[in-house]
Structure 1
Amino acid sequence: MSNLILIFIFLFLGIILQQVKGFPLSIYKVLNKIVIYICLPALALYYIPKIEWNNKLLFPIAVTWIGFVVSYLFFNFIGNRFGWSKKLKGCLIITAGLGNTSFLGFPIIQSLYGQEGLKTAILVDQPGTFVVLSTLGILVATIYSTGSPSGLDIAKKIFFFPPFITFMLACIMNVFNLDFHKYIQLAFQKVGLAMTPLAMLSVGLQLRFDRKSQHWKFLGLGLLYKLILTPALIYLLYVVVLNQNSKTIQIAILEAAMAPMITASILASSHGLKPRLSSMMIGFGIPISFISLLFWYYVVQFI
């Protein structure tokens, strides 16, 4: 619950600081770099070595991969049909395709399903959302922001992306059943905890409530996909098609229904993919998601 309170405190703090005369609003760029290059790697090195693998874990892990791939197909189809710019398509693919499966997902799932539920939520987030962000997310951000980069440029962007490097290191440690000294683990955990306030402060500094904004209809479409269509797709695939009915499946559906990912918004913004719309997806998506999550929690009780 404390994470949820932090989200709103620092979001509103960022909005308030916009009104302070002389405050350097461009500081959000520095905050973005801290989140991406320091906080995310720390989280990977803390959580991933502790994951215990088995085949049933593929269901929660696949949630974000499915959501992101369909997001790519969905927004490319609509964008091409209506002549959207590449930056607009890229923004919606990333922000609607990646959910806030950790800093919203973890406290919500833990409060509903306890510590066992949290273990499933970590699987959705780390080998799921985290890896998609570090690979497909970087791929889309690079292609849709710079035109037609070479394969070598894209490979460099991914393989030298600090969160991806640390993810690979953490996976190797997991395979060999290794972990850091407890004091180092504690340091990683503390650094990772800074991600929520810093990321939401960055979003708040960029968020604008402009009634005449041209982004409202795109915001609505992006949130429709993220909060309604994505969990509906996972429900249809897992429950109706594959006939799965466990607590793990319930948690997977709820994680699919989480608001857009804060770091995804930062990734899109840092690549120039409609920064204003990226911030709106977070600023409006988070409070609206609490309403849609109530609906999906009611739905999964019948699984």
Structure 2
Amino acid sequence: MFTTLFQVYSPLLGWTILGFLLQKVMPTGWNRWVGPHPLGRFMFWVGVPLSIIGFMQGVDLSGQIWVAPLICWLSVGLGAGMASAWLWWQHLRREGLAPTAPMPWSSAQQGSFHLAATLGNTGYLGYPICLAVAGTTYFGWALFYDLLGTLFMAYGFGVWVASRYGNSCIQAWQVGIHILRTPALWSFGMGLLLVREPPPGWLSQGLSAFAWGMIPLSLMLLGMRLAQVKHWGSFRPAGVALLIKLLLVPLLVGIGLAFTSYPPLAKLVLVLQSGMPPAIATLVLTEEYDLDREITVTALAVGYLAVLLTLPLWLKLWGA
């Protein structure tokens, strides 16, 4: 297990710290060209889509792999249920202590709390961790979990939560457009076609090399985003959300998977993906719908550090 942890932590910490330091020392004028915003747009439109096609070369698309998005939807439901239960308990506690006192959490805080407890970083962070732990053989499970699970949850359930608790309103057809215009979804479909009709060897090797090259870039982008965190407040609500997202949800998912016949490494990948810290998408939704930024950025920053502590636990319990 120590060898596996070293293989995971070395690039995970190394590239993230490099991105963090670059963002701190980079001249302000350079942000326009190599800052987190242009780098994020490149990853969204080019890096991630081509990486998906590259990683899908040689992926085993057996029937069992299609359970991955179902596990994602289940984990989101578990997180949402526990988040709602916590807020309901807070409401009952307030009524018992001081019935006339206002609700301790504002609507914006409740929205950010729900997002942090449900939507995980199964792409930028989940991909490199699952690749390091389980290799390319079971990467398809992580891919299906992210694209057919987290993607739809972020632009479906996430948008619904943000619009309910925020100051904006979005129509159902707009949610559909958000999903359909996502390049990763189109590249996923193209990757499925290329699995059945493989491209020439040189192209397949080039796509695979490009995909592996995007892993350090995605981690550097994550480090740049963490370097932009200015206020680490609201530790209590962020801590409760992380307890749900990083510990309770993957624990329940792992216990449920223990009774199935899926391959051990596939189970581990699903547990790891269900236990990823809050996604960058939570910050995007927070900004778009004017939710509580302190809870969101605190959950993002602390969650990234906390996953380094929970990873050995899942390897110990469900590692093969």
When the two structures are superposed, what TM-score results if normalisation uses the length of structure 1?
A: 0.76
Residue identity opposite 1:220 in structure 2? G
The structure having more radius of gyration, on CA atoms, is 2
State, as a whole percentage, how many aligned pairs show the same letter.
14
Instruction: Point out 4+ residue stretches in structure 1 off by more than 6 angstroms.
Output: 20-25
> Relative to 1, partners in 2 of residues 1:38 and 1:154: Cα closer, same or farther, differing over 3 Å?
same
Question: For the residues of structure 1 that align with 2:76 and 2:315, how far apart are their CA atoms?
Answer: 22
For residue 229 of structure 1, what is the aligned residue in structure 2?
A: 248
Question: For the residues of structure 2 that align with 1:296 and 1:64, how far apart are their CA atoms?
Answer: 17
> Relative to 1, partners in 2 of residues 1:152 and 1:221: Cα closer, same or farther, differing over 3 Å?
same
Question: For the residues of structure 1 that align with 2:273 and 2:21, how far apart are their CA atoms?
Answer: 25
CA contact (8 A) 1:226 1:257 kept: yes
Root mean square deviation of aligned Cα: 3.5
Question: For the residues of structure 2 that align with 1:168 and 1:76, how far apart are their CA atoms?
Answer: 35
Question: For the residues of structure 1 that align with 2:268 and 2:301, how far apart are their CA atoms?
Answer: 26
- Does residue 256 of structure 1 match 2:265? no
> Relative to 1, partners in 2 of residues 1:90 and 1:161: Cα closer, same or farther, differing over 3 Å?
farther
> Relative to 1, partners in 2 of residues 1:291 and 1:60: Cα closer, same or farther, differing over 3 Å?
same
CA offset digits 1:12-40 (Å, max 9, x no partner) = 544x359x889979x64444433333332
CA offset digits 1:115-165 (Å, max 9, x no partner) = 3xx422x23421112333332201234332464422221111111122223
Unaligned runs of 5+ residues in structure 1 are none
For residue 227 of structure 2, what is the aligned residue in structure 1?
A: 204
Question: For the residues of structure 1 that align with 2:313 and 2:215, how far apart are their CA atoms?
Answer: 30
For residue 197 of structure 2, what is the aligned residue in structure 1?
A: 177
CA offset digits 1:162-181 (Å, max 9, x no partner) = 2223223333433x334472
- Does residue 138 of structure 1 match 2:155? yes
CA contact (8 A) 2:109 2:291 kept: yes
- Does residue 10 of structure 1 match 2:19? yes
- Alignment partner of 2:61 out of 30, 46, 53: 53
> Relative to 1, partners in 2 of residues 1:246 and 1:126: Cα closer, same or farther, differing over 3 Å?
closer
> Relative to 1, partners in 2 of residues 1:289 and 1:189: Cα closer, same or farther, differing over 3 Å?
closer
In the comparison of the two structures, how many residue pairs are matched? Answer: 288
> Relative to 1, partners in 2 of residues 1:164 and 1:287: Cα closer, same or farther, differing over 3 Å?
same
Moved more, 78-87 or 250-259: 78-87
SS at match of 2:170: coil
CA contact (8 A) 1:94 1:264 kept: no
CA offset digits 1:165-198 (Å, max 9, x no partner) = 3223333433x33447236514455356422212
- Alignment partner of 2:177 out of 144, 156, 176: 156
